[in-house]
Amino acid sequence: MNSHKYVALDVDSANIVAGVFDSKGKSMMECCVKTNGTAIRQFFKLLDGTVHVVFEEGTQAGWLYQVIRPLVAEVIVCDPRHNKLLQAGNKGDRIDVNKLGRLLRLGNVRSVYHGDGTIESLKQLVHGYDTLVEDTTRTMNRVRAIFRSRGMKCNSTVYRSDNRLQWTQKLDIKTAQIRLGSLYKELDYLMELREEAERAMCRHARTHSAYKMINGVPGLGPVRTAQIIAVVGTPHRFRTKRQFWPYCGLAVVTRTSADYEWRGNLPKRRKKPISTRGLNQNFNRTLKAVFTGAALTAIGSNKDFKAYYQRLIDKGIRPEMARLTVARKIASITLTIWKKGENYDPERLNQAAGTSDQ
């Protein structure tokens, strides 16, 4: 008989605490495994039957998923923020393993997508580029902070190489000038690395079949296209745009209460407006930055999107909500053409109200 086994892992950089449970939740084994590929493979080869595995999202999650996936029937990388049981009560390796095993057996873990490894190279390049962008921004903020600390205002010209001597001489402390010079050198080096990373990322992204389709959408240039492909992986993860918007941080959160009242002997739904509570808080930061940035670019440079945005404003929609609608429209178009394997058609911008992004 092909028995089912449920394996929960608590992972850290050096050690993995593993718990194996049967279909009734009884503990069959508990052991420690070194966090290396050979030891992990040897452990799972000892388990017979249909094996289901769960562990939490973390630094090693992507690598661990690729190691374990070929050896078992199912691997779930879960988001602990959606499992209140993991956060309640005492915490420890053995306690966490038992809780994870119970949730896995009951089917109460929410998985985090890790894909099949075909875009791992692009992911690495995108992560490298994003890190350099963050480091560049941080260094630029430190340059501005030097002038603010001396009660001086500065603008974007403070970064330009032909203006640096002029700005440096405005500082009245010699050591501050030395510090500023070091930051300028750091900024130059980071900008050089950033440009190299951008070229490598875009060059690799162009090898993917979806690149030309997504890059043709207004507002989405080579960099944003590479980021979308790396983060999403496959558009078929999302059944419709209604699942894609929350992932991109573009879904409006609504709250209602006391929706029904009694009229005679029958409950009737109240006629009252639904209260909105802003956008969803659990989302992918990269995709939100991509689509909100693409909306601003498209409104400023594409006549069709500019006219679409103006129509929203003429209807009395607030500018920030109109920009959100444009971002949702771009996200919807991107998902649709990627799924269908089609190129961008400007007519998609004016589709019927049945597919409205309001």
Instruction: Output the pLDDT for position 158.
Output: 93
Q: CA–CA separation, 344 vs 249, rounded Å?
A: 23
pLDDT above 70 for 319: yes
Per CATH, the number for 4-106 is 3.30.420.40
Q: What is the pLDDT of residues 58-86, one digit of tens each?
A: 889 989 999 999 999 999 999 877 766 66
pLDDT above 80 for 246: yes
Q: CA–CA separation, 165 vs 146, rounded Å?
A: 15
Joined tokens for residue 326 = 């444009």
Residue 82: count of CB within 10 angstroms of its CB:
13
Q: CA–CA separation, 241 vs 250, rounded Å?
A: 10
Q: CA–CA separation, 249 vs 223, rounded Å?
A: 19
Contact assessment for residue 235 and residue 335, using Cβ atoms and an 8 Å cutoff: yes
pTM of the complete model: 0.84
Least confident of 22-31, 148-157, 268-277, 290-299: 268-277
What is the overall mean pLDDT for the chain? 90
Instruction: Output the pLDDT for position 129.
Output: 97
Q: What is the pLDDT of residues 206-239, one digit of tens each?
A: 999 999 999 999 999 999 999 999 999 999 999 9
- The CA-based angle 15-17-21, given to 5 degrees, is 155
Q: How confident is the model at residue 356 (pLDDT cuts 50, 70, 90)?
A: very low
Of residues 28, 121, 20, 21, the one with CA closest to residue 66: 121
pLDDT above 50 for 202: yes
Contact assessment for residue 186 and residue 146, using Cβ atoms and an 8 Å cutoff: no
Instruction: Output the pLDDT for position 144.
Output: 95
Least confident of 51-60, 76-85, 170-179, 249-258: 76-85
Q: CA–CA separation, 254 vs 274, rounded Å?
A: 7
Q: What is the pLDDT of residues 252-296, one digit of tens each?
A: 888 777 788 888 888 888 887 777 778 888 889 999 999 999 999
State CA 46 to chain mean position distance.
Answer: 36
pLDDT above 90 for 95: no
Instruction: Output the pLDDT for position 270.
Output: 81
Angstrom distances, CA of residue 331 to CA of 2, 207, 314, 323: 44, 22, 23, 12
- Dihedral, CA of residue 134, residue 208, residue 249 and residue 247, to nearest 10: -130
pLDDT above 70 for 357: no
Instruction: Output the pLDDT for position 2.
Output: 56
Which residue's entry shows tokens 């573009």?
A: 250
pLDDT above 90 for 320: yes
Least confident of 70-84, 86-100, 300-314, 315-329: 86-100
Ordered DSSP codes for 224-289:
HHHHHHHHHS-GGG-SSHHHHHHHTT-PEEEE----EEEETTEEEE---PPEEEEE-SSS-HHHHH
Instruction: Output the pLDDT for position 352.
Output: 38
Q: CA–CA separation, 345 vs 217, rounded Å?
A: 9
Q: CA–CA separation, 193 vs 131, rounded Å?
A: 11
Question: Residue 254 — φ and ψ, nearest 5°?
Answer: -120, 150
Instruction: Output the pLDDT for position 351.
Output: 63
Ordered DSSP codes for 40-86:
HHHHHHT--SEEEEEEE-STTHHHHHHHHGGGSSEEEEE-GGG-HHH
Name the percent of the chain lying above pLDDT 90: 70
DSSP lists the bridge partners of residue 201 as none
